[in-house]
Each structure stands twice: as C-alpha cells, then as structure tokens.
Amino acid sequence: MFLHSVSLWNLAFYAFMVVLATLGVWDVFFDFEENKCSMSYMFEYPEYQKIELPKKLTKRYPSYELYLYGEGSYADEHKALPLTGIPVLFLPGNAGSYKQVRSIGSIALRKAEDIDFKYHFDFFSVNFNEELVALYGGSLRKQTKFVHQCIKTILKLYKGQEFAPTSVTIVGHSMGGLVARALLTLKNFKQDLINLLVTQATPHVAPVMPLDRFITEFYMTVNDYWILNARNINLTTLSVAGGFRDYQVRSGLTFLPKLSHQTSALSVVSSAVPKTWVSTDHLSIVWCKQLQLTTIRAFLDLIDADTKQITQKPKKKLSVLNHHFIRHPAKQFEENPSIISDFPGSSKWVSVKMSRWSYVAQNNSEKMYFAFPLAHHRKSYTHAYCQSTMLDTNSWIFGCINSTSSMCRQGIDLSWKAELLPTIKSLTLRLQDYPFLSHIIIYIPSVHVSQFFIDCEFFKKEARSIQLPVTHLFSFGLTSRKVILNLSGLYYNIELLNFEQIYQAFKVNVVSKCSRSKEEKTSIYKLHIPWSYEDSLTIAQVPSSTEISLKLHVAQPENDSHVALLKMYTVPDCKYEVTIKTSFPQILGQVVRFHGGAYPAYVVSSIMLAYGGQLSSLLTTGYCLEYATILDKEAKPYRVDPFVIMIKFLLGYRWFKDLWDGLFLPELEAIVLTSQSMCFPLVSLILFLLGTCTAYWSGLLSSASVQLLSSLWLALKGPVELPKDVRANASDLPFATSVFLIVSWTTCGALSILLSYLYYVFKVVHLQACLTTFRNNQQVNPKHSRRSEKKSNHHKDSPVQSLRLSVQDVEDSLRMHGTVINLLTWVVLLSLPSLIYWLKNLGYYFKLQPDPCKPLVFLLTPAVGILGNSYTLSVKSSKLLKSTSQFPLPLAVGIIAFGSTHLYRVPNFVVVPLLYHALCNFL
C-alpha cells in the first residue's frame, strides 16, 4: 500500500540518493590506506597493580580505579612502593580500557632497559569503567575531579625520594585528552601539577556527536577557559590526530585553537609525524608502534639531567616536540647544538664544479669531503638541493665560512636544517639566504654499510616550481589537468592552485617512465599543506603508476596566502606525468565526514514537513493523505533553506543581532559552521535530499513493520474487532502514563521514552490488527459489511458521530500514526545513548544523574499516551487543528537552524506539535 502511493520517478530518485549516500559512506569507512602500523608487543607478561586510594575517594567514585603498569622484574620490584621514576598518567577515552596503557608503557620500559635504567617512566592508568562519555556527557565533570585526586595520589607515592617529581605527564586518548584539558577549569587545581599533555585522537574543537547538552556545556567550559586564559596557560600541549583512517574522530576536530599569543600548543596528523608517516584509526593510535616510539623518544629528550624529571623549560619542550613530531633533521636532539665545525686537514678533499653530481659510497670507503664552490653557481641558479640515502644521525652537509684554495677550515653544520623522509634525508637551500658561504661541503664518513647514495644539484626555482590549477568541483572527474616533468631533476614543487577548501577532493595519478632500469631507487611524493601539519607521503618504485588522494582536514584560513604543494623527490633520467581530476565519490565522502552528524536533523525535518502536510489535509479535506504522497509534496528544500539563509543574512546587521540576543536565541548553526570553514556549496541541499530519502525509506520500513507485527498478533491471539467507541481502549492511559513518569523519575528518562514508544507501537499494531480483521470479514460476508457500513454512515449523522469509527477513520488514523511513529523513532534513537550509559552502569547507579531526557519526558510521555489512543475522527473537528497544522513548518526550519550540530535539541522541536496534536482530542 505504501509503495502504490509513490510514483516510479520518485522511487528511482530515492534509490539514486541511496547510491550517492553509499558512495560517501564507503569513502569514509573503507576507502583509505591500509593499516601500516606495526603492532607493539609485550616482551613479558603485563601486570596492572591497583593503587590504593583513600576510602573517602573510593566511596565517592565507586566505579573508578587507578593502576600502575608493569612487566616482569620491573613489576615485581615496584610492588613495594614508593617509586623512583618519572610519572606518566594515561587517560582512556570513550569506552576505553585502562589496559590500553600497555603499548606505550612496554615501549618505555624497553627504552629504559637500553639505557640501563638511567631514567625510567612509571606509567599509571585510570579505569573509568569504560564509560561511554562520547554518548553521555554527564560524567565528564566527575571523571575530571577523579583525575585531579589521582594526580595528588601519584605524587604522594614519590615522597621522600631524592628526585621526587612535583608534576606528572598526561597522555590522553580520545575523550581522555579533553578530560585532561578540563583539569585546568577546576577551582582548586594547580596548573603546575601537569608538566606536559599529549592527546591522541582527541576531539578538542567540538564533540563528534553532541547528543546531550552536558557534552556541549562541558566543551564550552573547557574551550572558553583555554581561550580566555591563554596568556596564563603555560602547559605545553601536543595533539596528534589519526588522519583519514580515523573515521570516528575526524582530524579537523583535534586541532587546538591557534591563538596569536599562544605558542605552547602543537597539532599534527600522524601521517606527517617523522618516523611514523602512517594514518591510524581511532584505536590503533594507542598501539601503533611507530607513533609510540616517537612519543617515548620525545619523552626521553625532555628529561632534565639535573632533576631527572621532565624539564620545566617551555622553550625546550617545544623544541623537542618540534624535533620529533614536526620536522626531524635526521639528527639526535640537542638543546644547544654546536653549529660551527672545524675540519681536519688530513682528510681527502674533492672539488666538484658540476651543477648535478651523484656519488655511490661503498662499504669501508675512506672518509672524504666534497666541496661545491658557490661563486659560479650563484650567477646561474637560485637553489641547491642535496639528498642522502644513509639515514644515520651523523652530520653530513656543511656550509664553508673559512676556506683555502684546497680545503675548508671551518664551516656551519647545515644538517640541522635537513628533513628526514622515509628513504632519504634531504636539504634545500636558497642561495641568497647564505651570501657568507663560499662552498657547500658534503661529508662522506667511513661506515660499514653495503652502500648508500648521495645526490646534489643546483637549479632555478622557476624551472622546478610548476603551477597546476586543480579541476573544478563540478567537473565530476570528467575533465583533468596534466603536467609533464621532462627535466632530469631530483626535486620538484607542484603548486596546487585553488586547493584550499575541505569540500574539494581529487585523484592524482603520477606515471614515471625511466630511460634505464632504476629498480633500487624510489620516488617520494609528499602532499604539503602549509597552514596545518597534515602532510602525507607516498613512496613509489620507478617506473610505476601511482594514485594519490588529495583532500584536506582543515580549510585554508582567510588571512593565509600559502599554496598547497605536491613535493616530488624524483629519480634522475625519469620522466614524470602528473594528472589531476576531481573525485566525486571523495567529495561525497567529505560531506559525510564533515556533516554526517547533522544528517538525523535533516531526516526529522523532512518527516516534520510531511506531518504538517497530513494535519493540513485533515483540516482541509477531512482525510489524511498517504505518508509517501505528502512527503513528496511537502518535504522540499525551498520550504526550509531560504529561511535559514535569510536569518543568517540578517544576523550580519547589528540591529537584528541585538534583537536576536535580546530574545536569548541560541547561535545559528550556519554561523558556527562558517566560523569553522565548514560551509560546503549546496551541502544543505544535499543533506536535505538525503534526509528526505531516508524519511521515505524509514516510512516504508515502519509501515512494513506494523503490518508484520499485526499479522503476528492475529496469528497468536486471533481476530480483533474494531472499537465502537473511540475512548474504548483508553482505559489504561492514566496508569501507563503514571508508570512512565515514575520510571523516568526513579531510573532513566530515556527508558521512559522507550517504554512510551513501545506502548504507542503496541496501540498502533492493535489498531492495524482490528482493520485487518474487519477487511477479512468483509471478504467473507460482504452483505453484512455493507449493512455495517450503512450503520456507520447513519451514525455520522447522529448526535454521537464523534464516538463512532468508520473504516475510513481507521485508515486515516493509521496513516497519521505511521508518521508519528517515524518521528518518535528518531526521538528514541537520539535519546538512546543515555539509556545505554545507564544500563552499562546499573551495577553502580540505579538512577541516572544528571539525566538529559528528564525534562522532555514530562511533556512527551503524556502526549504519546494520548496519541496512542486517539483517532483522526476526534481530531479533525478540533478548534486547535488549524494552529497545530501550522507548527511543523517553522519547527522544521528550527531543527535545521538550531539542531543540525546540536542533535539533543531535535526532540524538543518534535514534542511541540505532538503535544498540540494530543490536545486536539480535547479542545
């Protein structure tokens, strides 16, 4: 019956929208690089020693615990406290386990063994009982206060030691990182208790899915505090994102706010981290060996030799983090490196006057210096480039500042300006920046390796910087742009013009063709984004055909004029052909990635428009139209989007903004998205069409479900007659409503919403079973049915016409009930997270406190109870029907205007027309 009310054209359109949505979802959840993280293993059996907390603290937080991680002999030795190491506290995230500390803890233990325990770290971990804090924010404040007490307890374990710490380092995964930042908002918290904060895949900017107001309020408290007190916050913070593999927390949310006066915060994507260079998913970021090794190397370099604890010097902290997480020069970290070097006179010196030079160093080759005089090259070239495949941390390139005719006596170490890449270390120098250098010196040490390669060249910037405008967003991959690199160079910069927005996505195909075999060499293609640390690298053998995905985590800031670059570290004597074209599936993926959270709001908005259309048809014609028909008629983007656009435009005027603030209206979602550079062209239209599509298919599903359940009812309980009085089956309403309210007050509001929803479905299924029985009887005894119909028509003219039901009244009622079920289904889904949280913690707390759904329950539950026992017969004669039918349109606009990024507001918009609809039965 549902399908008959939809044209084939609409059906084809809805199917097409499903295909588009599938493409976008597939790109987000499946179309990314394979997991290249190496698994971190424990060499000895991991042990978790429970730290005894004060009884008062245990009583206040019965479900929380503190553990010390250890393995083997280390664990045995440290069972007898106090401790002597450097304390590090690990905070798990949403549904995270305290045992996730074992990866970084085990690697730190192995590193301590390598240096004979000159320094070692004591890793602690908090057990939050795997709470779902990303779904329910009511416990975030409680977790923050518990962590504060844990820090105090940890520091007490070191009392009396020679090098007792006064602060701890915190590593926070996911929401654990946000809890760590929230510590600073506590009244009695001393900032000096934390010396360093490292967060992994933590959504700092905003919650992934704001499903209750407590999460939003917690975020506002934390971020507002950090922004307003930025000058007073000296806590060095590093945020590491997982990249495109992490589909749970997109990397753009992990970037800490950049403030002009704040220099103690760094944000980086794991694919850009030196010696890591991989994208991680939300869980593997905790155990990814490459990333954990980088983190522990940084921790070791942060140790102050005098205090044997993490340094308190902010400048050194930033230097170390930059060295290990931003740009690694292929050198061991030195706080004050020696830049000036004296060259021994006994070494072999070779003068090189060629503009391009290559050298193969063999095993046990003698120590040599190659000198490149710059006087001649400065006239013809602007830059010098050198690379080496020997990745040891020795100094290898210098600039001569004191030379004789045959050798250089003194130079500056340029190795600190080099960059480490997966297969080479490289350095690019702009010659005009070094007018005081007479030579560039390449040092070849005597090493015991099979062989390594060193290549150098001089070039003009214009010859190696190629501009490549990206293809248009709406070219849909049908057109492409191409550049061919014919020069036999080592390094190219391809400037990707107009590549600056997060909704852009491209496929780049790099084809390399070589004149002779280059099997032992590889090319490196690096996407460099100047305005954020989200670079990604691709390694390709030559010759080859390599496909690279180009898309952004963070849009280019308005005041930034840099250009995204594709840096190509190439093989000489090879020709490269670079082709770029728009990737439509990846654009859809970006829509899902950045705006997927708003999707439920658009679905509910479409259903709300259909709901209003049904009420209007009941008012004007006396009949309720089919859901699919009215959805096609009423759920149009032009009924919603123009109002949102108009409000956004008017908010640009001071008088309207003052009026808006005077009415205490929340900030418009479109303005929030604009401030975060997240406004896609036509994104609202795309989401609305996808929402309408989902509203259609969910209507089909709910209709089929009611039919199926009614058939099951008839099979189990037999035929059911239609009620003769519209109030006949409402006798249980006061009792049911009272039970639902009591359940909400004593346990969980979401549970009450679910029970009232099931009660409503039960009533609708019962009514459908009654109608099915009547129709079956009509087929068996048509004469009796005609007499019944005449009686029904006769009753319509009687004084008690509002108490008698006809078949048409039942069908209209079922159509209306179907739409209400659709609305209530989404209300239940949006309130379900707090119910799941409550069920998971039922062993500790019988009553959910605070409860985000409780205010909603006292309006929704009575309304749902009344509607479950109502019929269109008693509604269409109501004086309130006209105003009730006018509510859904402005509320549908309100859902998009205020609920697309604050989903917890959506049920509040739904309850208003339901409440008025229920009142229509009485007024």
Q: Give the residues across from 443 on adjacent strands.
A: 369
Query: Beta 451-459 vs 340-342: how paired, if at all?
Result: unpaired
For residue 543, is the peptide bond before it cis, meaning its omega torsion is within 30 degrees of 0?
yes
Coil vs helix vs strand at 253? helix
Q: Mutual orientation of helices 683-717 and 584-595 as an angle, nearest 10°?
A: 70
Strand residues in 404-464 grouped as ranges (E): 408-413, 419-420, 425-430, 439-444, 451-459
* Tokens at 480, concatenated: 């492409």
* Tokens at 845, concatenated: 């707390």
Alpha-carbon torsion (879, 883, 884, 886), positive or negative: positive
CA separation, residue 641 to residues 616, 665, 678, 900, 906 (Å) = 21, 19, 17, 13, 17
Q: Give the residues across from 360 on adjacent strands.
A: 453
Q: Residue 922: how many CB atoms within 10 A of its CB? A: 10
Q: How far apart are CA 807 and CA 788, in angstroms?
A: 10
In sequence order, what DSSP letters do the residues of 697-740 get, joined into one string? HHHHHHHHHHHHHHHHHHHHH---PPPSSTTTT-TTHHHHHHHH
Q: How far apart are CA 535 and CA 537, in angstroms?
A: 7
CA separation, residue 490 to residues 384, 387, 457, 543, 697 (Å) = 11, 9, 8, 15, 56
Q: How far apart are CA 827 and CA 818, in angstroms?
A: 14
Please, how many CA atoms are within 13 Å of residue 275, restricted to the half-sphere of its CB?
20
Q: Which helix (H) or strand (E) holds 166?
A: none
CA separation, residue 658 to residues 652, 663, 664 (Å) = 11, 9, 10
174 is catalytic: yes
Alpha-carbon torsion (180, 185, 190, 195), positive or negative: positive
CB 690 within 8 A of CB 596: no
CA separation, residue 583 to residues 357, 549, 917 (Å) = 40, 9, 47
Alpha-carbon torsion (192, 198, 201, 206), positive or negative: positive
For residue 82, is the peptide bond before it cis, meaning its omega torsion is within 30 degrees of 0?
yes
Task: Considering only CA atoms, give the Rg of the chain.
Answer: 34
Q: Give residue 564's Cα distance to chain centre.
A: 22
Residue 449 DSSP one-character state: S
Residue among 40, 103, 167, 174 flagged as catalytic = 174
Residue 288 DSSP one-character state: B
Residue-wise burial string across 352-384, b where 16 or more C-beta atoms lie within 10 A, e elsewhere:
beeeebebebeeebeebbbbbebeebbeebbbb
Q: Whose structure tokens read 């009982």?
A: 129
DSSP H helices, 561-625, are 584-595, 599-620
Q: Whose structure tokens read 């963070």?
A: 554
CB 543 within 8 A of CB 602: no
* Tokens at 620, concatenated: 């004007």
In the chain, helix, strand, coil percent, each to 5? Answer: 45, 20, 35
Q: Give the residues across from 50 on adjacent strands.
A: 67
Q: How far apart are CA 558 and CA 572, in angstroms?
A: 38
Max Cα distance, the chain (Å): 122
CB 517 within 8 A of CB 473: no
CB 36 within 8 A of CB 289: no
Catalogue the active-site residues: 174
